[in-house]
Chains A and B, each alone.
Chain A
Amino acid sequence: MFVAFFLSPLAVLVGLSLHAEAAMQTWTIGNYTKFLADRFNLSILWDTLLLGVKATLVCLVFGYPIAWVSARADRPRWQSILLFIVILPIMTSVVVRTFAWIVILGRQGILNQIALGLNLTDEPVRLLFTEVGVVLVLAQVQMPLMVLPILTVMSRIDPNLLDASRALGAGEWRTLWRVTIPLSLPGVIAGCILTYAACVTAFVTQTLIGGARLIYMPLHIYSQAIGANNWPFAAALSVIFMLAVLAIVYALSLLATLSRTHVHA
């Protein structure tokens, strides 16, 4: 099953990327040299990978405290309410969530209406179709992928360790810094891997919030395949993009292994 439904389409993709035309007649590595020789393509790949880093960091900065508060909530009821709020975004479609953000970020949107109402600005601020907008929306849309792994790891930390830290005279912050954060690192890294992979490939959010002027790899692949009908080049783009993301995910998982040995040492 795995071979039939996962590996064979991948093999076709790689095969297509090594041909000059969609009918797969002449073998060539031209699609790859074309990509590597062109700064335009490389800048799109770089922008996309960087976008993922930014969105993942924002996600981590907001997501970690949420996970920490939920894990420490005294009553189970509070914990389940917080958990529900975290999971809520997954229950609606990405398209719906993204459209809601258009209403919030637009020139006539809620944020701009408030800013204008409070005389913070004379002109509506441009948020939609900017990279800042894309990063913010991606961070919100993918938040559950960050919070859930961290929360899982955190709630498995033995509470005695925290008590021991306090009994030995460490304050709340010191306990958080020296005990909770190192022990929750595997969850943080798992969350980062999931969020990163989801952010760089989020075609819907990137195109709806970013518009056509911010070109990231998914839109680039789409316009080569559907718009320009250049399937082999689109396939080559997909393969390169996949390898780049895999490399980053692999680096992150190496970090996870390191952090585990560090904690246990």
Chain B
Amino acid sequence: MITRPNRRQALVQGAALGLSSLLPHAAGAQSKTLVAATFPGTWNEAHRSLLLPAFMKRSGATATQSIILGADQISRLVAAKGGKPPFDVAFLDSPQVLDAAAQGLIVEYPAAQSPNYKDLLPEFQDKWGPRISMQIIGIGYNPKKIKTPPKSWDALWDPQYKGRVGLTALNSQLGIAFLAEINRLKGGTEDNFDPAFKALRELLPNVGAIGANLGAYATLWQQEQVDIAPYNFNFVQTLKGKDVPVELSIPDSGPVGWHTSMHIVAGAAEPELALSYIDTHLDPAVQAAMLKPPFDVIPTNSRVALEGAITQSIAKNHGDLANVRSIDWAKLNPKRGMLIEQFNRDIKL
């Protein structure tokens, strides 16, 4: 016979369930949980399938990986300032690290307590937290439509690609990095972006679509809405893995990139676990596993040799990685709002 609980029993059981969820640590102090931020897409998959098991094995603790974009992480940390932060480990791109540090959202990284830190290549060591990979941009193109890989950014301005060029809005690092590189090539400086905007206005007749965010940008390629556009190495690798016709060509002016890093959040609930989690990401075994497809995460540990897709077009060895041109974010960050506004004005239909 099935006994059905009466209303009072159901209420009591429900209340017990509710109360128990308010007391997550009552079950046992040994099962500690770290909350770490990660990016959507490939990063989230790499962190879940490779970093998480390695971290659990090493620390005996577990971790919740929360998918939040870098800019959103900053806003959430700002909102939680003075209270308990919503996550312990922040995952940021170079420009946001400066913002986070300036606002006191992250703490200096205790490198001495992080065994793998000393093995990082010098350009990937940073007092605010180790750089665990880098992003590199070049010219993305559809090999079905464009047979010879474009070797210059000028290819985007070629009249034969009228209506076939894609761009992304400046709320992404990709958009800003592209703008900065064009500005440099057209003779601008960090204080003068007029050459870049002049070039962009000349590019507009060729522009078929501007993705409002990186998710929409990927769709442009999947739907073959554009044939040629600035793109970055890891996104291209991800799309290629899904049989989307896209290749990345590095122009003769050289690759441009920025770093991606992990940080202990100020006031973190689990600072030791956060340190252990980040150090696990520096582990040569973890980085070597992440370098393999479908992740192709560029390693930063000197004990991991480069191999695979990255060596074909971007960097044959660690020296090449050090030579990837970076952007002066300290000078560019304060201008970001102005650049976004100017960009939106110029492109609005």
Which positions in A face B, CB cutoff 8 Å?
22, 40, 43-44, 99, 102-103, 106-109, 126, 128-129, 131, 207-208, 210-215, 219-220, 222-230
CB-CB under 8 A from A223, the residues of chain B are 169, 171, 340, 344
On whether A227 and B348 interact (CB within 8 A), knowing A106-B223, A109-B223, the answer reads no
Instruction: Among B167, B207, B340, point to the contact of A227 (Cβ < 8 A).
Output: B340
Q: In whole angstroms, what is the CA distance A186 to B163 when docked?
A: 46
Q: Which of A108, A126, A224 contacts B224 (CB 8 A)?
A: A108
Interchain CB contact under 8 A, B349 and A214: yes
Tally of A-B residue pairs with Cβ under 8 A?
Answer: 90
Cα A227 to Cα B96 in complex, Å, equals 11
Are A215 and B348 neighbours in the complex by a CB distance under 8 Å? yes
Is B225 a contact partner of A128 (Cβ separation < 8 A)? yes
B213 partner, pick from A103, A106, A129, A207, beta carbons under 8 A: A207
Going nearest first, the 6 A-B pairs with the smallest beta carbon separation are: A228-B337, A227-B171, A106-B223, A212-B169, A207-B212, A212-B210
Give the shortest distance, in Å, between B104 (CB) and chain A (any CB).
12
The answer on a CB contact under 8 Å between B71 and A213 is no
- Contact between B212 and A102 (Cβ–Cβ < 8 Å)? no
Q: Are B348 and A230 in contact (CB under 8 A)?
A: no
Residue-wise interface mask of B (196-227) relative to A, using a CB-CB cutoff of 8 A (1 in contact, 0 not): 00000000000111111100100100011100
**Residues from chain A with Cβ under 8 Å of B72 in the complex:** 226
Task: Name B336's contact: one of A131, A225, A229 (CB within 8 Å).
Answer: A229
- Contacts A103-B223, A109-B223, A214-B349 given; indicate if A226 touches B170 (C-beta within 8 A): no
Residues from chain B with Cβ under 8 Å of A229 in the complex:
71, 74, 99, 336-337
Query: Could you list 18 A-B pairs, sorted by A, with CB under 8 Å?
Result: A102-B223, A126-B208, A129-B209, A208-B216, A211-B212, A212-B167, A212-B168, A213-B210, A213-B347, A214-B349, A220-B344, A223-B171, A225-B75, A226-B71, A227-B170, A227-B336, A228-B336, A229-B74
Chain A residues lying within 8 Å of B74, measured Cβ to Cβ, are 229
**What 6 new A-B contacts, CB under 8 Å, besides A126-B208, A223-B171?**
A107-B225, A108-B224, A211-B211, A212-B212, A222-B171, A229-B74
Query: Which chain A residues lie closer than 8 Å to B168 at the CB level?
Result: 212
Distance of A5 Cα from B163 Cα, bound (Å): 47
In the complex, the chain A residue whose C-beta lies closest to that of B210 is A212
A211 to B208, CA, bound (A): 10
Min CB distance B191 to A, Å, is: 19
By a CB distance below 8 angstroms, the chain B residues around A228 are 336-337, 340-341
Contact call B209/A128, Cβ cutoff below 8 A: yes
* Residues of chain A with a CB closer than 8 A to B345's CB: 40
B78 at the interface (CB under 8 A from A): yes
B336/A208 in contact, CB under 8 A: no
- Where the two chains meet, the residues of B that have a C-beta atom closer than 8 Å to any C-beta of A are 71-72, 74-75, 78, 99, 163, 167-171, 207-213, 216, 219, 223-225, 336-337, 340-341, 344-345, 347-349
**A207 with B225: in contact, given A129-B209, A214-B349 (CB under 8 Å)?**
no
- Minimum C-beta distance from B317 to chain A (A): 36
CA distance A108 to B336 in the complex (A): 35
B75 near A219: Cβ-Cβ < 8 Å: no
Whether the Cβ atoms of A207 and B71 lie closer than 8 Å is: no
Nearest opposing residue in chain A for B170, CB measure: A227
Task: Point out the residue from B75, B163, B212 that lies within 8 Å of A208, measured CB to CB.
Answer: B212
What residues on A are CB-neighbors of B208 within 8 Å? 126, 129
What A residues does B167 contact at CB under 8 A? 212
B225 touches A227 (CB 8 A): no
Q: How far apart sit A126 and B211, CA to CA, in the bound complex (Å)?
A: 15
The minimal Cβ–Cβ distance linking A13 to chain B, given in whole angstroms, is 13
Quick check: A226 and B212 within 8 Å, CB to CB? no
Chain B residue nearest to A207 in the complex (CB): B212
Is the Cβ of B216 less than 8 Å from the Cβ of A226? Answer: no
Residues from chain A with a CB closer than 8 A to the CB of B71 are 226-227, 229
Q: Within the complex, what minimum Cβ distance (angstroms) separates A113 from chain B? A: 12
Residues of A within 8 A of B209 (CB): 128-129, 211, 213
Decide if A211 touches B216 in the complex (CB within 8 Å).
yes
Assembled-state Cα–Cα distance A65/B153 (Å) = 53
Of all chain A residues, the one with the shortest Cβ separation from B345 is: A40
Task: Please name all residues of chain B whose beta carbon is closer than 8 Å to the beta carbon of A211 when the two chains form the complex.
Answer: 209-212, 216
Complex: chain B residue closest to A22, CB-CB = B78
Which of chain A's residues has its CB closest to B75's CB? A226
Give CA–CA (A108, B211) in the complex, Å: 17
State A225–B225 Cα separation when bound (angstroms).
29
CB-defined contacts of B78 to chain A, threshold 8 Å: 22
* Contacting pair B211 A212 (CB below 8 A): yes
Tell me whether B225 and A106 are in contact (CB under 8 A). Answer: yes
Expressed in whole angstroms, the Cα–Cα distance for A222 and B348 within the complex equals: 16
Instruction: Report the separation of the CA atoms of residues A190 and B94 in the bound assembly, to the nearest whole angstrom.
Output: 49
Tell me the bound Cα distance from A106 to B208 in angstroms: 12
* Given A207-B212, A207-B213, A227-B71, A212-B347 contact (CB < 8 Å): yes
Chain B residues closer than 8 Å to A227, beta-carbon distance: 71, 169-171, 336-337, 340
Bound complex: CA of A158 vs CA of B59, how far in Å? 72
How distant is B172 from chain A, measured CB to nearest CB, in Å?
Answer: 9
Q: How far is the CB of A147 from chain B (nearest CB, A)?
A: 29
Bound-complex Cα distance A207 to B226 (A): 17
**Interface contact B224-A107, CB-CB below 8 Å:** yes
Tell me which residues across on chain B come within 8 A of A210, comparing CB atoms. Answer: 212
* CB neighbours of B223 from chain A (8 A): 102-103, 106-109, 128
Closest to A128 in B: B225
A99 to chain B, nearest CB (A): 7
Choose among A40, A207, A229 the residue with the greatest number of B CB atoms under 10 Å from its CB.
A229
